[in-house]
Structure 1
Amino acid sequence: MSTRTRILEATADLLASSPTGEVSTRAICQAAGVGPPVLYRQFGDKDGLLAAVVDYGFEQYLATKRTRLPSDDPVRDLRTGWDLHVEFALSHSSFYRLMYSTSPTMSPTAGNESFRLLVETLERCAALGRLRVSPDAAARMVMSANVGVSLMLITRPTTYSDPSLSHRVRDAVHAQILTTTAPEPGTGVSPVAARLNALLSASPSETLTPAETALLREWLTRLSDTAT
């Protein structure tokens, strides 16, 4: 293990066990077996260290997602993605709490790739006519619920002890954003608009100008995000 990784791991462990969520650089150096000059040379200051801990946690999480090839069933991929997210949170609780911390010292861009990968899966669902709302709106719903459940399982294990909780919340959220089948005539505008929007994203129309396509996609997003 490199010196940098050792410092990151030690910081995450100390923060996870701290009752106040605070830890001194002195304690970090002692746990990692390095002197303060080494820490500051690696990370600049404490805020830089905390931001690096968050990025390190996301890199561990994304490493598993980047290697997974999409299947021919995006709805199944969506369900699998939820479950893998919760599994990562439970097995890397120290990092996970930092990854979704609201501390202003954390990197504001951390997690953007995770959100983008979720949107891509939902765009595939929309292209099959299986999405009730726009991929962006669906991603916000899924991500907020997935993170919320994961944090509760980690921070309140006694209260949230039901082993089926994650799947029950997952299925409830998916029921709100997914259709059971591709839309048929008379089923409403939202899933049709979401599907056309996804198809335009995947294969832009050569008939329309880029500006016209952008305007059409804006309208389709409004229609797909309108409750039916």
Structure 2
Amino acid sequence: MSDAVKNRADTRAAIVESAAGLLREGGPQAVTTRGVADRAGVQAPTIYRLFGDKDGLLEAVAEHVMAGFVSDKAAVVAAATAADADPLDDLRTSWRKQIEFGLANPAVFRLLSDPERVLGSPAARLGRQILEKRVHRLAAAGLLRVTEPHAVDLIQAAGVGTVQTLLATPAALRDPALGEAMMDAVLSRILTDAPAEGPSGPRAPAVALRALAPQLEMLSPSERQLLVEWLDRIAESPA
């Protein structure tokens, strides 16, 4: 790496870190060009040259903060998988951390809750992939009675909605049990042991076998593909 490229990267990192601090302390309105420039020790034109405008800088900051959080989540998933930890406990722990992160970083959460920003966010995509891995572990353990994509969508939608509801409520009036109640509601919909829904019929075994299908090397690729199609049809069928 040339000195010029390294200096540019270092300058960019210093600006993002400075803006992140201002964002945490005072929200998006605190992230002014002058304030960021003063804290980072750069000239204002440098910010425009590297980020285009304030919105571009905010996107970079949100991505930076979210990427750090997602990186920690990825490490936790790897450790839980290696230790063969209970997949349901792992999901609950992840859910709580996600709610805590959203409440602790409201500006970042709101920025990345914008559908257009999410579509272009590598950190958001990686976060979904990590959730997919957690849900896959539930399916492989025979605990899931809906398809993996449907379970991921439900969990993600419930998480975003929970944080948005709590952030829209004055801190003193927030229901501290809302997060756990919402998690229980989602789990009652996606898990095989949901008493309110009755027996799950063939769907739970189909979902579990679907999670393991790629590992069935005794079958040819075309046979595995056909098996996956059959299992998806069973898993997506009405109860």
User: 1:29 pairs with 16, 23, 33, which one?
Assistant: 33
User: 1:7 pairs with 11, 19, 22, which one?
Assistant: 19
Tell me, what secondary structure is at the counterpart of 1:179?
A: coil
What is aligned with 2:232?
221
Change (3 A) 1:218 1:12: farther
Tell me, what secondary structure is at the counterpart of 1:111?
A: helix
State the alpha-carbon separation in 1 of the partners of residues 230 and 55 from structure 2.
Answer: 42
Alpha carbons 1:43, 1:49 under 8 Å: kept: yes
State the alpha-carbon separation in 2 of the partners of residues 97 and 118 from structure 1.
Answer: 20
Unaligned runs of 5+ in 1: none
What is aligned with 2:9?
none
What letter is aligned with 2:238?
A
State the alpha-carbon separation in 2 of the partners of residues 31 and 105 from structure 1.
Answer: 27
- 2:121 aligned with 1:117, yes or no? no
How much is the aligned-residue C-alpha RMSD, in angstroms?
Answer: 2.7
State the alpha-carbon separation in 2 of the partners of residues 75 and 143 from structure 1.
Answer: 16
Change (3 A) 1:72 1:106: closer
Q: Pairwise mapping of residues 139-178 of structure 1 onto structure 2 (< 5 A)?
A: 139-157=152-170, 161-178=174-191
State the alpha-carbon separation in 2 of the partners of residues 159 and 196 from structure 1.
Answer: 47
State the alpha-carbon separation in 2 of the partners of residues 132 and 87 from structure 1.
Answer: 28
Alpha carbons 2:140, 2:212 under 8 Å: kept: yes
Alpha carbons 1:141, 1:173 under 8 Å: kept: yes
1:9 Cα offset (Å): 3.7
What is aligned with 1:51?
59
What is aligned with 1:135?
148
- Per-residue CA distance 1:55-100 (angstroms, 9 max, x = gap): 1132132132123121421011111111110011111222111121
Change (3 A) 1:10 1:158: closer
1:159 Cα offset (Å): 9.5
More helix by share: 2
What letter is aligned with 2:169?
R
Query: How many correspondences in the alignment?
Result: 214
User: 2:68 pairs with 56, 60, 73, which one?
Assistant: 60
Question: Greater relative contact order (Cα 8 A, min sep 6): structure 1 or 2?
Answer: 1
TM, length-normalised to structure 2? 0.78
Q: Quote the sequence identity (%).
A: 29
